[in-house]
Amino acid sequence: MNQRADKASEVERIRRSIQPSNASTDDRDRVVDVYIKHPDGVEMLFGITTVKPSKKEFDVLRLKMLRWNALRFSVEPNSLVKTYIGIPFNPYHPAPYARWTGGQLDPSEVCVQNDLWAKFAGYDVFPELVDVFGEAGRLMRDKVSAHLNKL
């Protein structure tokens, strides 16, 4: 954990060393935020985090992603697993997302804004999401203002 990630080799070391088991239902790390299984068998597991996680949070998420691999391999050793940290939007937009705290991660593990939503939808859906939220805001503005005025 103290060195730069080499995800491919780490995952293969886990795959080779893991022993078969029935995943324990009391293991908190067995739960992912988003799970997507593609028709080709690739399983994508996402942990969603805040837009500005601390170094400790990145470390915890990195370890959790490696555990997801181990837990999945303990049930199905040949499964095709890809794990990601998802950050729903980029607070630095239009500049690229760049947090010094995530430096120990493989950049392919972090999906920010458009990349995250594209992984979920299969295409760049983020501009549509912005439009939908904008429209919802316009439609609800009067109701929200009226409610706030009552407070």
Per-residue pLDDT reduced to its tens digit, 20-47: 666 556 677 778 999 999 999 999 999 9
Cβ contact 16:71 at 8 Å: no
Say how many Å lie between the first and final Cα of the chain, rounded: 49
Say yes or no to pLDDT of 151 above 80.
yes
Q: What is the pLDDT of residues 99-129, one digit of tens each?
A: 766 666 778 888 999 999 999 999 999 999 9
